[in-house]
């Protein structure tokens, strides 16, 4: 039986993503009553080398997942939209009360219930470098309405379980990528430039500050991207933070993104 205490202990010790997700399923069912669980990466996780993906781990009905993708619901789903700007867990039923839903967004919610996803709840999870993930839970059968006190307690449990899962998920990927990782060494000039890039400075401003040409700035920036193995400057800043080259307080670039 996956009680909350056992989940915390076991999730820290498991070496398997499949086992970690199984623990998530069991614990959310036991503690929250949801037998349908989905985990999504709502943004790229550059520090882990993972691309954004909806439902990368799930037991939602396959027919619903195919319908969801085919109709482009990922880009308008009110659960995802609300999660991006909300802190803490929430229930799907509150969305029509706090959002001005379009007909297609309301249809998305209605079709989810028709697919057997009832009494849904969700939470958006935020990483230290602005990365975002989400966990949703639902019941395959409609349940009676909970009292406000019981609902708050259930959502508090979902919050604790989801955050622990996300921490364990990231830790597993970090351990898996640690072995082949190589130390990235930047030159003094490259360090100056990536700090200015993280400070949201343009090439023109960087060239003025460092008294070098914009072509020289671009040359060094390309070298930085090559060393980090990324294709854009935001990803380079994220990698620099993850490797300890930059501190979180230096990432004005991220706060403006």
pTM: 0.75
Given this model, what pLDDT does residue 130 score?
76
pLDDT at 201 over 60: yes
Coil, strand or helix at 54: strand
Give residue-wise pLDDT tens across range 111-140. 999 999 999 999 999 986 778 999 999 999
Q: From CA 110, how far away is CA 78, in angstroms rounded?
A: 12
DSSP state of 245: S
Q: Residue 139 CA to chain centroid, in angstroms?
A: 23
Q: What percent of the chain has pLDDT over 90?
A: 70
Across the range 79-100, mean pLDDT stands at 94
The b-or-e profile of 66-81 (16+ CB within 10 A means b, else e) is ebbeeeebbeebbbbe
Q: Provide the 10 A C-beta neighbour count for residue 145.
A: 10
Please name each of the domains of the chain with its CATH number.
Answer: 4-178 (3.30.450.80), 188-255 (1.10.10.10)
Give residue-wise pLDDT tens across range 151-179. 999 999 999 999 999 999 999 988 776 54
């Amino acid at each position: 039986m996956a009680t909350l205490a056992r989940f915390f202990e076991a999730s820290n010790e498991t070496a398997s993503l499949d086992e970690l997700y199984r623990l998530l399923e069991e614990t959310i069912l036991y503690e929250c009553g949801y037998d349908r669980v989905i985990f999504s990466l709502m943004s790229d996780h550059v520090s882990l080398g993972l691309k954004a993906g909806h439902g990368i781990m799930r037991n939602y009905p396959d027919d619903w997942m195919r319908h969801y993708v085919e109709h482009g619901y990922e880009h308008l789903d009110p659960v995802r939209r609300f999660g991006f700007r909300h802190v803490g867990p929430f229930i799907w039923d509150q969305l029509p009360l706090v959002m001005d839903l379009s007909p297609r967004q309301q249809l998305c919610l209605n079709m989810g219930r028709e697919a057997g996803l009832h009494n849904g709840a969700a939470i958006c999870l935020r990483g230290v470098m602005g990365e975002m993930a989400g966990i949703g839970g639902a019941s395959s059968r409609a349940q009676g309405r909970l009292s406000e006190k019981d609902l708050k307690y259930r959502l508090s449990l979902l919050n604790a379980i989801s955050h622990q899962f996300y921490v364990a998920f990231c830790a597993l990927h970090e351990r898996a990528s640690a072995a082949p990782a190589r130390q990235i060494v930047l030159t003094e000039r490259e360090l100056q430039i990536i700090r200015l890039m993280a400070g949201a400075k343009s090439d023109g401003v960087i060239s003025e500050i460092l008294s070098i040409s914009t072509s020289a700035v671009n040359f060094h920036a390309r070298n930085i991207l090559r060393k980090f193995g990324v294709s854009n400057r935001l990803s380079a800043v994220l990698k620099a933070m993850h490797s300890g080259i930059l501190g979180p307080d230096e990432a004005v670039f991220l706060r403006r993104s």
